[in-house]
Amino acid sequence: MIVRKPYAFLIKYFKAIHLFMLALSVYVFYHTKIALEFFNDYVRTRQFIESETLINDTIPLSMAIFAFLLIAITVMILILFRKKDKPIVFYLSSVIFYFIFILFVLVSRGIMPTIIFEGIDPRISRIIRDIWLISYYLQIVLLVFYFIRAIGFDVKKFNFGEDLHELRIEDEDSEEIELATKFDRDKFRIKVAMEKEELKSFYYENKFIIIIIFILTVVVIPGVFIIKDIAANKRYSENEVINLNKFEFKVTNTYITKKDSKGNTLFKGNTSYLIVKFNINNLTNNKRGIKLNNLRLEINDNVYIPKTIYYDYFSDIGTGYTDQTISKESKDFIAVYVLPDSELSNNIILRYTDSLKVKNNEATALYYRIIIKPNNIDESIRKVNYKLGDELSIKNSNIKFKIDNSKIKEEFTYEENYKTKYIVYVTGIVLSLECDSKVNLMNALTKYGSIQYKIGDSTYTESINNVTPNNYKESILYLGVNEDMKNADSIDLVLKSRDIEYIYKVK
């Protein structure tokens, strides 16, 4: 198909063509303004109003389509102008600009999901904002040119007057668009050869511009995609500090278990506890903390929230976090989650929500994500034996004590205000433990302990019953025990802490 007298057609409809181009460029400019406002707000606040159509509302694909139409029309004008030795700087600049613009629109659309779901580095967001700003001002210049050539351009400029005379453009020229369907092979070969030569000439005349476009296409644009990929996949690791405006947060350890601090199995089914141990460090004097509910686990498409009701089971690992605040100090805490065992083989991400804003039932969030690889601490129980006079220190706690002597009687007596007082256990007898720290020993027995005794080949276990008087000041702890214990062959205090069983022989 051959269009006859295309240059004549261009001159005759010059204003109409540029009016159409002006309409296309106004649409692109309008949406450029919307995209610029979005990134400008995001740079300032790190927030946005989320919606299902946010990407298409902010950077619609039609921007690239309309820019492509502008390139196609401009290239045709550029070819015709070049053949007639007319100025082509404006049109060549337009082609280059809209080519780069289309690539940037596609890159920006690709980055939008990362902004919505994860957030991007502030430096990257500022770069994107600045490029949109440059694009915005350059389009103002192009709009001015399109407007002048669409409304007030005189066809006698560019020496169009001579062209009009040579071409003898009349109203009937509008009828000179006809179809030729016969294919002339020789003519086609000559045309291809001529086009080749013209292409070479075009390259040498515009080598600098072509090299710039090549660099942008091969280096700059792929580079932006690489940066986008890095931003989209930014993940912190355990023991990596996250800076939150003079407030530091880091995950120090993570554990998987089915057992409490005493080693008792809490979950016998396909469910486990995941314990996250983390540190928060306030660098200011103002009391601050984090919101526990903002510290969630992401596993595939599932989100898990902390369970504070289980904190007591894991007191040996750390202090449960319940939105405590600290000032000018660093402290360790734990958060506990309940997970199906099937999730433990998947990638586990701890997500911290730094900011959350709800407007019109839509949430906007800035997330930090930490890759965690929890250790399973439910291994075989290791038994450690102690005897009278040994000091016992319980792992992952501040509890340590030493028992020097033990006795078992029906009753014990002591003096108070010159009166004899009796220590008895109404349903049994009394075991006395002389120690260096009565408080530590009692804390250990309460949290981790039981009493185990043997009579012949049989082993019996009893819970702890403290019968020590409140006002008793000596370093002796009195426990109420079963009456059968006076005939025991051996008596042990058994303290179970996670994967260690401490056995302290007192008889």
Q: Where are the domains of the chain?
A: 6-232, 236-376, 382-505
Strand segments, DSSP code E, in 45-117 are none
The pLDDT assigned to 2 comes to: 41
Write out pLDDT tens, residues 41-51.
877 766 666 66
Q: What is the mean pLDDT of residues 22-30?
A: 90
Cβ atoms within 10 Å of 72's Cβ, excluding its own: 11
389: tokens are 């006079």
For 404, the enclosing helix (H) or strand (E) is: strand 400-409
- In contact, 249 and 370? CB cutoff 8 Å: no
Write out pLDDT tens, residues 167-194.
454 444 444 444 444 556 766 677 667 6
DSSP state of 259: B
Q: What gap in Å lies between CA 379 and CA 501, rounded to an integer?
A: 12
DSSP state of 321: P
**How is the chain split among helix, strand and coil, in percent rounded to 5?**
45, 30, 30
Q: What is the mean pLDDT of residues 436-451?
A: 89
DSSP-derived 3-state class of residue 489: coil
65 or 193: which leads in pLDDT: 65
Q: φ, ψ for residue 273 (rounded to 5)?
A: -95, 140
Q: Which residue has the tokens 């240059």?
A: 7
Q: What gap in Å lies between CA 452 and CA 459, rounded to an integer?
A: 7
Q: How many helices (H) and strands (E) does the chain have?
A: 11, 21
pLDDT at 363 over 60: no
Is CATH 2.60.40.1240 the right assignment for the domain spanning 236-376? yes
- In contact, 258 and 267? CB cutoff 8 Å: yes
Q: Which residue has the tokens 């016992």?
A: 392
Which of 246, 252, 250 is CA-nearest to residue 328?
246
pLDDT at 116 over 80: no
Q: Largest alpha-carbon pair distance within the chain? A: 136
pLDDT at 372 over 60: yes
Which of 45-59, 352-366, 394-408 is predicted most confidently? Answer: 394-408
Relative to beta strand 449-455, strand 429-435 is unpaired
250: tokens are 């880091």
Residue 206 burial (C-beta neighbours within 10 Å; 0-12, 13-18, 19+): middle
Q: What gap in Å lies between CA 420 and CA 408, rounded to an integer?
A: 19
Type of residue at 312: D
299: tokens are 């596993």
What lies within 8 Å, CB to CB, of 243 at 6+ separation is none
Q: What is the mean pLDDT of residues 275-298?
A: 90
- In contact, 362 and 49? CB cutoff 8 Å: yes
Q: What is the mean pLDDT of residues 340-360?
A: 78
pLDDT at 356 over 60: no
Q: What is the mean pLDDT of residues 485-489?
A: 91
pLDDT at 276 over 60: yes
pLDDT at 108 over 90: no
Q: What is the mean pLDDT of residues 103-129?
A: 80
Label residue 22 by pLDDT band (50, 70, 90).
Answer: confident
What percentage of the chain has pLDDT greater than the value 70?
Answer: 76
Cα–Cα distances (Å) from 54 to 47, 58, 434, in that order, read 13, 6, 72
pLDDT at 277 over 90: yes
Least confident range from 15-19, 228-232, 383-387: namely: 228-232
C-alpha torsion angle, residues 420, 425, 428, 433 (rounded to 10) = -80
The pLDDT assigned to 396 comes to: 74
Q: What gap in Å lies between CA 89 and CA 76, rounded to an integer?
A: 14
Q: Which residue has the tokens 């002389």?
A: 434
Q: What gap in Å lies between CA 238 and CA 278, rounded to an integer?
A: 9
